[in-house]
A = this chain, B = another copy of it.
Amino acid sequence: MGYELHYWPMIPGRGEFVRLALEEAGAPYRDVAREDGDDGGIAPMLDRLSDPDDLRPPFAPPFLRDGAVMIGQTAAILLYLGPRLGLVGDVEADRIWTHQIQLTVADAVNEAHDTHHPVGVGLYYADQKPEALRRAKDFREARIPKFLGWFERILAANGGAHLVGAEISYADLSLFQLVEGLRYAFPRATARALRDAPHVAALREAVSERPRIAAYLASSRRIPFNEDGIFRRYPELDG
């Protein structure tokens, strides 16, 4: 049976934060839009987004189906999966703190996206390049250091190995993905910022070496970053 993930099949995007949690836990799941065959592809996803009979339709991908429950919004999906996959602590204070970190990762992801789409998602990058150059400068110089500085601070305060408690959580996996995305899109700016965030750099490496994550990253299930996604390598935006 297992979970059903619905997300755009050609980009890692926001779906990747959900995939990493499912992969780390070894949970059975279908990545529906990436499957061939009659019940695969993006048609089921598009159907669910526009199904007039659906009382609780997601606003946008990614969304997750678990039997009769359908959940949209990346952070809400992880909130739901965390306890089920053993990727969050048992205590409410730990759960809310993990979620708070996840929402801050989401803010950073949104801002990374907006570096190449500062005017609007409905326009091409080529049609908003002057705006993108200005926004990316602010993101590189002010926002990447601020976000990574906060993650560094809370990692250091927790002993360095994990963001929350003594075990891996979905927040660790999400921070890994954020840093991977930033390294792809802004390699020079991110390398500079990581020199001041050694715990973040070490966590990124430690996550990449976890057996299930390492196997996943080496598999065809991992979609490479590319210039249709959230994190895009446009060298001019890296300064």
Contact = CB atoms under 8 A, between A and B. Distances in A.
A3 B59 CA distance: 32
B57 A153 contact: yes
Contacts of A134: 119-120, 128, 131
Interface stretch (A39-47, A72-80, A220-228): A72-80
A56 B150 CA distance: 10
Interface string A107-140: 1001000100011111100001001001101110
B57 A71 contact: no
Contacts of A137: 120
A153 B51 CA distance: 11
A166 interface: no
A114 B121 CA distance: 13
Given A59-B150, A128-B134, A100 B71 contact: yes
A118 B111 CA distance: 10
A69 B122 CA distance: 41
Given A57-B153, A103-B75, A153-B57, A135 B119 contact: yes
Interface string A50-61: 000011111100
Contacts of A214: none
Interface in A136-164: 137-139, 142-143, 147, 150, 153-154, 157-158
30 contacts: A56-B97, A56-B157, A57-B154, A58-B100, A59-B100, A59-B147, A59-B150, A69-B93, A69-B96, A71-B96, A71-B100, A72-B104, A73-B99, A73-B100, A73-B103, A76-B103, A79-B99, A80-B96, A107-B110, A114-B114, A114-B118, A118-B118, A118-B135, A120-B135, A121-B138, A122-B138, A122-B142, A128-B134, A131-B131, A131-B134
Nearest first, the 10 closest Cβ-Cβ pairs linking A and B are A120-B138, A73-B103, A76-B100, A55-B157, A119-B134, A131-B131, A118-B118, A73-B100, A59-B104, A119-B135
